Amino acid sequence: MNNTKMTLTERNQKLYDLRQKLDKARAQVAWIEQEIWLVKDQYDRQDLDLFQEMFGDSVNVPSIYTDTPMAEEVYGG
């Protein structure tokens, strides 16, 4: 801790300046949170097919992965 003495006026001015910085930082955080929400909301409203987005149209799933005894037993075919 700093051992330099300060007056009451200096203390109050320093606290005021720090609170001003804090208010500005909080406003920036709120703006960034709003931007994050908007990006998520915009993406969610697109109603995209995630499988197609990840793998494209040219993916063929071999029947070996869909016609297994376990698939028939668990999922009915």
Query: pLDDT for 40-65, tens place per residue?
Result: 999 989 988 887 888 877 766 665 55
- Looking at mean pLDDT, say which of 2-6, 21-25, 41-45 comes out highest: 21-25
Domain that holds residue 40: 11-56
Provide mean pLDDT across the span 27-31. 98
Is 41 among the domain residues? yes
Burial (CB < 10 A; 0-12, 13-18, 19+), residue 37, is exposed
Is 70 among the domain residues? no
- Three-class DSSP category at 7: coil
Count: domains in the chain: 1
Rounded-to-integer distance, Cα 39 and Cα 71, Å: 38
Query: In 10 A of CB 71, how many CB atoms?
Result: 12
pLDDT at 72 over 80: no
Rounded-to-integer distance, Cα 40 and Cα 8, Å: 48
Cβ atoms 71, 77 nearer than 8 A: yes
Is 66 among the domain residues? no
